[in-house]
Copies of this chain bind each other. A is one copy, B any other.
């Protein structure tokens, strides 16, 4: 499976990583935990991860239960060139050990541009910080077609701009392989081979890769289900060989997003994260909504009466506390009429001034 993971990142990201540095983990959950646990211990005088929010709240919880502190900001107002200055304001403190974001972004579905990824990479290089890039929704910016192995365009990644990276690639979303608890953790050769003497506080080795593998991952879970490893290897092989177009399998999310967004906006809702640097936002796994006159918490509570579930953006580090995240994966097309009926009822019950 390591070989196929290395092939996958070569063919779909166009990056070269030693297969020994491509690890199957118990979901990206354990991959992220292992990164925080190891990478954030490289330097005793640094404090933890800088989260480019909005993001997956459990990653911050992972830092908390590890006893680590962290920093974060909502990227909404710092898109494009403004991102550099904002990042540097944190990096200059000397307290940042890693930078984490998801791309495409959970929950807002904004996608970083090549320019933004370049800024992140350059800042990481300048301050010797590891970028943990969460590619949970790999290839799912359907505005471009990232589905062909070895052919551009490739899924954008910070790995094109820095060798200081670790990538989290979930298989439950892109490969619809949920519940078997297998994700991929891809560590750049540069990070893997890096020495950080402060690791010796916790590990037998001061080399990041050794500490990560034999110190952290062996102690945590000693790998993940071997059946799931065989299954993932087979899926990846089919994808890498061009026999399975994994993006086509998940394009449905984008199509459902278009229909669902229209249902919401037809009934008085607004899309919160509505633009991607002037471009229309992509349609995919998530989108964000708000309703005039209601906070996110109020809207969430009201939705319960209508049998509509969502999560509040406030929990994701977003400053757009009026917003909720809607997910396109668990709702079936057959349920759309019910959703539409409920949204209409909601709209009728909550007239907009």
Which residues of A are interface residues toward B (Cβ below 8 A)? 26-27, 29-30, 33, 37, 58, 61-62, 64-65, 67, 179-182, 201-203, 215-216, 218-228
Name the prevailing secondary structure of the A interface residues: helix
Contact A30 B181 (CB under 8 A): no
Pick the residue among B30, B61, B67, B202 that contacts A65 (CB under 8 A).
Answer: B202
Q: Please, which residues of chain B bring their CB within 8 A of the CB of A216?
A: 65
A sample of 11 more A-B contacts (CB under 8 A), given A27-B222, A65-B216, A180-B225, is A26-B221, A26-B224, A27-B221, A30-B220, A33-B219, A58-B219, A61-B218, A180-B227, A181-B222, A181-B224, A181-B225
A160 to chain B, nearest CB (A): 30
Task: Output the nearest chain B residue to A225 by Cβ-Cβ distance.
Answer: B225
User: For A27, what are the chain B residues with a Cβ–Cβ distance below 8 Å?
Assistant: 221-222
A221 contact set on B, CB distance < 8 A: 26-27, 29-30, 33, 181, 220-221
CB of A181 within 8 A of CB of B26, answer: yes
Quote the shortest CB–CB distance from A254 to chain B (angstroms). Answer: 26
Q: Identify the closest chain B residue to A58 (Cβ).
A: B219
| CB pair A203 B65 closer than 8 Å | yes
A182 cross-chain contacts in B, Cβ below 8 A: 225
Quick check: B227 and A65 within 8 Å, CB to CB?
A: no
CA A219 – CA B221 in complex, angstroms? 13
**Given A215-B61, A225-B225, A227-B227, A220:B179 Cβ within 8 A:** no
A225-B224 contact in complex given A26-B181, A65-B202, A65-B216, C-beta closer than 8 Å: yes
Which residues of the other chain, B, contact A62 by a CB distance below 8 angstroms? 219
With A65-B37, A67-B202, A202-B64 as known contacts, state yes or no: A181 contacts B223, CB within 8 Å. Answer: yes
**How far, in angstroms, from A201 to B26 measured CA to CA in the complex?**
26
Chain B residue nearest to A182 in the complex (CB): B225
Is A220 in contact with B181, judged by CB distance below 8 angstroms?
Answer: no
Which B residue sits closest to A178, measured CB to CB?
Answer: B226
A215→B61 CA distance, assembly (Å): 8
List chain B residues, Cβ under 8 A from A65: 37, 202-203, 215-216, 219
Residue in chain B with minimal CB distance to A202: B65
Contact A26 B29 (CB under 8 A): no
